[in-house]
Chains A and B, each alone.
Chain A
Amino acid sequence: MIRTIVAWCPDWPVVAAAQDAGLDHDRPLAVIEKSLVFACSPAARAEGVKRGMRARAAQARCTDIVLLDYDRGTDARVFEPVVQGVEASMAGVQLVRPGMLAMKARGPARYYGGELAAARLLTGKLAELGVPDARIGIADGPFAAEHAARHAQSVLIIPSGSSPQFLGRLPIAALGDATLVGLLGRLGIHSLADFAALSPTSVRERFGSAGALAHALAAGLDATAITARTPPRDVRLSVDFEPALDRIDQVTFGIRAAADRFIDELLADKLACTEVRVAISSEGETSERTWLHPRWFTGADVVDRVRWQLQGSGSAGSGLKSAITRVRIEPEAVDPVGAHEAGLWGNGPDEGVHHGLSRVQGMLGHEGVVTPVLGGGRLLAERQVLVAWGDRADAGLEKARAKPWPGSLPEPAPATVFADRRAVVVLGAQQQQLEVSDRGVLSGHPAFFSPTGKRDDLRRVEAWAGPWPVVQRWWDAAAATTANRFQLIDASATAWLLVLDGQSWWAEGLYD
């Protein structure tokens, strides 16, 4: 067993969320996940707020509590500078989870002159890094050290060889495996000492390998090694323009070499970048967005993304609102290069397709090439969503698609769908206006139809059906739809999908 130091920052989710929101950690705070309290600050705990409590109940107990949403990302992101700070004074740090660090005790103990001195130094260091109340536990093995840290006032050192005695006094719940803990409790085993007293063979027979591992931990025979993390390199690209540039081609030229260097640096770390965040600052404003890549970014692709972001809807070379002072590019998502290695015969035709489509995007802009995704809804425009090549489709689309959508159109779907519906004219037998009553009855039979919306283009109606009411989202004035649909075949045997919206007729689609 390895002498291990574990540093624990109590209530880390609260500390991180408070720091991220710019709040004071001393006031009553709680971090909420799925409307249950995930963690709370000491001030809130003093008022009776506990983990697992409903958010409403927490608010009832402590009226001035501030509730923050739990975000794993924030947790990890805010902890990163702490890890880096500790790494500066002690080597080989393992990040157990945000809020908890483990490292081998031998090195620091020798360097700083004893385990207690190392622990004191570590508490001081963590206090400097914004963790005022850190606990340090030193024991044989990470499991014992973690529990030592949880029981420490500030520092708790379990002398070498006495970890089993320390662990023996802990309740069985310290094992953390809810199923096993519940079962052992029902078997009358209430402390780790009771569990450790069982014979290893019987435990393995009864509880399998997971049980055997828990038994070893309880007995203080923790063979887990400390795997130190490799500190990631901070790769980002930032180019300042002095004087500020006001033409897109100047900006893209200015970052071309830097973009190549940026990708090369990532490649040197054996990383392929699949998502970048581009922030463009001009005099007074900053435009920021993330760009995805269907494969991985090359330097030229990064330059393209910057150009598209600058262009917006304008064309190349168009003047900008204000001059660009700085372009900053950060990798948002990276993958090991190995996952993207080209096969011996290339990656098949898709690579060529990607290059071809990117070329067209280069001509027309990012939104120029789209791929269709089917969504859900009653209106045709909702059912087909276009996603720019390289972007990810909204994850909710598939879920929306699976819903039943009563009142949507029967098969077949119209082959032509007008993006902006076209005005048409439908008239009754006496060339009178038709309307749908409040009870959903059409006032006459459609007899004349003009696809161009002009009266002199009228032709006879051969067959029709409707009205099929589409009444949706009446609770939301902006998105509400109240219309009636019709299918109609005109004298030239063309089938139309029409919409009667109030008094006016529109063509939504054409079955051609």
Chain B
Amino acid sequence: MPTAAASLDRIERHDEVRELQARIRAMQTTKLDSKALDTSPTVAGLLPGGSLKAGVAYTIEGSTSLAMALMAGPSQAGAWCGVVGVPTFGTEAAAAAGIDLERLALVPYPGDQWLPVTAALADVLTVVLVRPPLMPSDGTVARLMGRLRERGATLIVLGRWPGAEARLEVTRSEWSGLGVGHGYLRSRQLTVGVTSRTGRRDREVML
């Protein structure tokens, strides 16, 4: 069976090449691997590396429920979450997404103190969701990110943020269950464009 042997050989080769590539990448990487947080399986496929990382920022555009799904993993694993500047945060949906409300603190109206409040929460909470009213300066962001790295907290930004680990952007959303004059909203298929350091790809997620 020469063909089978050849294909086996090819697979082995392929594995070898992969292993070598991984070693090269590990030597080339300039950053230390940061701690991964527990991530819910729904969104694990969206994130670079397959999990939420501690000490970095993610930005989300166009979906609060996607942010809730990101927070659900760490919350279920016992972490505290905070929400800054989102007075419209639907807590019932958050509870349904799997966020433990006993370990959720909301600061709905931080006003112009939103940055110090975010920093104060990042000191003690594991995941902080924030909707910045305006784009902060690069210096402030760098200071905040330093603090995040030191404390091992993750920032999820609804809006834009410089130097984010990944940018999740809803490109298409498809609801099922609602017709013309009948039915009710039941489930939703999201197509999310994920832009990370390694490039951009589209992923689908069911919420």
The complex places the Cα of A410 from the Cα of B92 at a distance, in Å, of 12
Asked if B88 contacts A418 (CB within 8 A), the reply is: yes
Contact A463 B179 (CB under 8 A): yes
Instruction: Say whether chain A's binding surface is mostly helix, strand, loop, or mixed.
Output: mixed
Q: Is B49 an interface residue (CB 8 A)?
A: no
- B71-116 residues with Cβ-Cβ distance < 8 A to A are 80, 87-96, 101-102, 104-111, 113, 116
Given A356-B124, A495-B178, A495-B185, the answer on whether A380 and B105 have CB atoms closer than 8 Å is no
Q: Which residue of chain B is the closest to A509 with respect to CB atoms? A: B90
Report A-chain residues with C-beta under 8 Å of the C-beta of B179: 463, 465
List of B residues within 8 angstroms of A383 by Cβ: 92
Q: Are B188 and A511 in contact (CB under 8 A)?
A: yes
B101-144 CB contacts (< 8 Å) to partner A: 101-102, 104-111, 113, 116-117, 120-121, 123-125
Cβ–Cβ contact A374 & B113, under 8 A: no
Binds B, one of A5-13, A117-125, A347-355: A347-355
* Distance between B65 CB and nearest chain A CB, rounded to angstroms: 4
Of the candidate stretches B5-13, B20-28, B36-44, B168-176, the one touching chain A is B168-176
Which residues of B are found within 8 Å of A352, using beta-carbon distances?
A: 124
Give complex CA distance A386, B91 in Å. Answer: 9
Task: Indicate whether A369 sits within 8 Å of B178 (C-beta atoms), given known contacts A384-B92, A412-B93, A487-B184.
Answer: no
A449 within 8 A of B: no
Contact-residue bracket for chain B: 35 or more
Q: Is the CB of B121 within 8 A of A384?
A: no
**Residues B91 and A372 in contact, CB atoms below 8 Å apart:** yes
Of chain A, the residue at the smallest CB distance from B126 is A349
CB neighbours (8 Å) of B181 from chain A are 445, 464-465
> Is B201 an interface position by the 8 A CB rule?
no
Interface contact A416-B64, CB-CB below 8 Å: yes
Report whether A363 and B106 are in contact in the complex, using a CB–CB cutoff of 8 Å.
Answer: no
Question: Given the complex of chains A and B, what is the CA–CA distance between A348 and B62 in angstroms?
Answer: 36
> Chain A's nearest CB lies how many Å from the CB of B131?
11
Q: Are B101 and A372 in contact (CB under 8 A)?
A: yes
CA distance A374 to B90 in the complex (A): 11
Mark interface residues in B140-156 (1 if CB within 8 Å of A CB, else 0).
00000000000000000
Which residue of chain A has the shortest Cβ distance to B62 in the bound complex?
A512
- Shortest A311–chain B CB gap in Å is 15
Within the complex, the shortest CB–CB distance from B205 to chain A, in Å, comes to: 14
Contact B109 A368 (CB under 8 A): yes
Report which residue of B116, B117, B120 has the largest number of chain A beta carbons within 10 angstroms of its beta carbon: B120
Question: Does residue B182 face the partner (Cβ distance < 8 Å to A)?
Answer: yes
Query: With an 8 A cutoff between CB atoms, is B180 at the interface?
Result: yes
28 contacts between A and B (CB under 8 A): A349-B124, A357-B121, A360-B107, A360-B117, A360-B121, A363-B113, A364-B107, A368-B110, A370-B105, A371-B101, A371-B102, A373-B101, A380-B90, A412-B93, A413-B92, A413-B93, A415-B65, A416-B90, A419-B87, A419-B108, A464-B180, A464-B181, A465-B179, A465-B182, A465-B183, A465-B184, A487-B178, A512-B65
6 closest cross-chain pairs (CB), A and B:
A356-B124, A372-B91, A415-B64, A413-B92, A415-B65, A413-B93
Residues of B within 8 A of A (CB): 62-65, 68, 80, 87-96, 101-102, 104-111, 113, 116-117, 120-121, 123-125, 172-175, 178-188
